Amino acid sequence: MKPIDPKALFRLSVLGPLVSRERLARGELQQLVREIAQREYTIPGSRRRHIGEKTVEAWFYTYRREGIEGLVPKTRKDHGVCKLTPALQEAILAAKRDNPRRSIRQIRDLLTAAGVAAKDSLSRSAIHRLLQQQGLSQMTGSASLPEEKRSFVTEFAGTLWYGDVLHGPSVSVDGRLRKVYLVSLMDDASRLIAHSEFCLGETALDIEGVLKQALLKRGLPLRFVVDNGAAYRAQTLQGVCARLGIQLIFCRPYAPEGKGKLERWHRTCRDQFLSELDLRRIASLDDLNARLWAWLETVYHCTPHSGLGGLTPLERYQKDLPKIRSLGPRAAQLDDLFYHRISRYVRRDGTVSYLGQRFEVPFELSGRTVTLVVDPHAKRVVGVENAAGELIGSATPLDTLANLHRTRRKADAAEATDDVRSGPNRVELARQQYYGDPEA
């Protein structure tokens, strides 16, 4: 499976509030574009923190026409080449630094009126590229109105899920106490917990494991709202959502109200589950999760909820079963979607290392760097792929005892000898030069 370009995944995450809408009301596009452009981002391969409104709008229309492939960056033929004279470049930068609120049009008109540049000789794109290279392309200093926040609920179950992590207690794992973390996914319309599980960490791998179980149990959501942390921005998680048609939306930093319903669920979990938990009876992480799942299915999902008009989360969820997207044929391919791709060097004995274990791959790959397809949850190597994402070989755990009795392929001695004799022979040429050619 060909990997998705990481910059395309980033651009799709930026467009989340736009592409996740089924319909856009009149004027709503520009409003959302303006809000997206005002946020700060960690842009791959760039030190900039903001994205221009026109750029966001261009990405949106490109995604509508071409899908995620259209978001892959295209290198300009004149990349890195500025055709403006040094004097003109300095004048443009000085005009922008003098008044950061000046637009490109204002800068062009100012330089033309001052006689620095001839009329119609300055293109908008040339000025924009120069300002962008210098980190001056954003207009700063504008006043902002207080942000409007409103409570909402989606009409149907399966439209929107939330994901978040709650710090849990310490339990015995392999004979020592380890802190655990509760990773939960909640449906907005029904308040149903699609899946929740205590994990030993709050990494992208833990979140992916919980998401996989939630998809198998509750189908495909249209949108998935998560924190802005590094774990949720992992390329593997973004790739899974992109391939399944799930719009991954990131909350703004320091804005927990964006997931208020899930925050309320965390309080319920602390008050009704964690406070009642007798840790002396918990022998392992599996033991803790078994109690959590029993409490969810028999207590939480079956308790009437005031925000649901007296319905239980399970009853509200079941009302919309016909509208929820099922995995369908993709269920058989779900494991493959959650596989990770990593680069490894193949040793001369045809083995690679993964998590401290050695696996054998096709011997022809020895001495090459390959892409391993791994199941990070089962901690095994599935196979080897080429650059096009095509499987080119399997991988099996190294069995040194079996290799002792395995018949090895050897080089053909006759062919090797013929190869040596078929070309020029330096030794024979030296003999002929020193003693003369006996056939002459």
Whether 414 has a pLDDT exceeding 60, the answer reads no
Taking residues 252-278, what's their average pLDDT?
A: 80
Q: How does residue 322 score in pLDDT terms, banded at 50, 70 and 90?
A: very high
Predicted local distance difference test score (pLDDT) of residue 152: 61
**pTM of the predicted structure, to 2 decimals:** 0.64
Residue 113's SS3 state is helix
**Per mean pLDDT, which range of 111-115, 232-236, 250-254, 291-295 is the poorest?**
250-254
Predicted local distance difference test score (pLDDT) of residue 47: 79
Report which of residues 199 and 382 the model is more confident about.
199
Report which of residues 158 and 134 the model is more confident about.
158
Which residues 6+ apart lie within 8 Å of 396 measured at CB? 359, 360
Taking residues 273-292, what's their average pLDDT?
A: 92
Taking residues 197-215, what's their average pLDDT?
A: 94
Predicted local distance difference test score (pLDDT) of residue 144: 44
The strand pairing partners of 424, in sequence order, are none
With residue 337 as reference, give the H or E element that holds it.
helix 334-337
Predicted local distance difference test score (pLDDT) of residue 70: 87
Taking residues 102-114, what's their average pLDDT?
A: 86
Q: How does residue 417 score in pLDDT terms, banded at 50, 70 and 90?
A: very low
**Per mean pLDDT, which range of 51-65, 75-89, 101-115, 409-423 is the poorest?**
409-423
On average, the pLDDT of the chain sits at 84
Whether 439 has a pLDDT exceeding 80, the answer reads no
- Per residue in 363-404, pLDDT (tens digit) is 888 888 888 998 988 888 888 988 778 888 888 888 777 776
232, exposed or middle or buried, with CB in 10 Å at 0-12, 13-18, 19+? buried
Whether 319 has a pLDDT exceeding 70, the answer reads yes
How would you label 293-311 residue by residue, b for 16+ Cβ within 10 Å and e otherwise?
eebbeeebbeeebeebeeb
Predicted local distance difference test score (pLDDT) of residue 67: 87
Report which of residues 285 and 256 the model is more confident about.
285
Q: How does residue 273 score in pLDDT terms, banded at 50, 70 and 90?
A: very high
Instruction: Centre a 10 Å sphere on the Cβ of residue 42 and count the other Cβ atoms it contains.
Output: 12
Strands (E), 139-261: 160-173, 176-187, 193-199, 223-226, 247-250
Report which of residues 403 and 353 the model is more confident about.
353
Taking residues 338-366, what's their average pLDDT?
A: 88
C-alpha closest to that of 257 among 185, 151, 184, 375: 151
Predicted local distance difference test score (pLDDT) of residue 79: 57
Distance CA 75, CA 231 (A): 29
Taking residues 305-315, what's their average pLDDT?
A: 91
- Per residue in 138-157, pLDDT (tens digit) is 655 544 444 445 556 788 99
The ranges assigned to domains in the chain are 6-71, 86-133, 160-328, 339-440
Taking residues 230-243, what's their average pLDDT?
A: 88
Predicted local distance difference test score (pLDDT) of residue 255: 53
Predicted local distance difference test score (pLDDT) of residue 253: 57
C-alpha closest to that of 223 among 194, 199, 196: 194
Predicted local distance difference test score (pLDDT) of residue 418: 47
Highest CATH level, class, for 160-328 = alpha beta
Instruction: Centre a 10 Å sphere on the Cβ of residue 7 and count the other Cβ atoms it contains.
Output: 15
Q: How does residue 425 score in pLDDT terms, banded at 50, 70 and 90?
A: confident
Distance CA 341, CA 381 (A): 10
Predicted local distance difference test score (pLDDT) of residue 313: 95
Whether 421 has a pLDDT exceeding 60, the answer reads no
Q: Which two tokens stand for residue 327?
A: 């995995």
Whole-angstrom Cα Rg for the chain: 30
Predicted local distance difference test score (pLDDT) of residue 290: 95
- Per residue in 211-232, pLDDT (tens digit) is 999 999 999 999 999 888 888 8
Q: Residues 372, 395: contact at Cβ < 8 Å?
A: yes
Taking residues 328-339, what's their average pLDDT?
A: 87
Distance CA 325, CA 323 (A): 6
Report which of residues 439 and 305 the model is more confident about.
305
Q: Which CATH fold topology does 86-133 show?
A: Arc Repressor Mutant, subunit A (1.10.10)
Report which of residues 12 and 186 the model is more confident about.
186
Residues, the chain = 440
Residue 21's SS3 state is coil
- Per residue in 40-63, pLDDT (tens digit) is 888 887 878 889 999 999 999 998
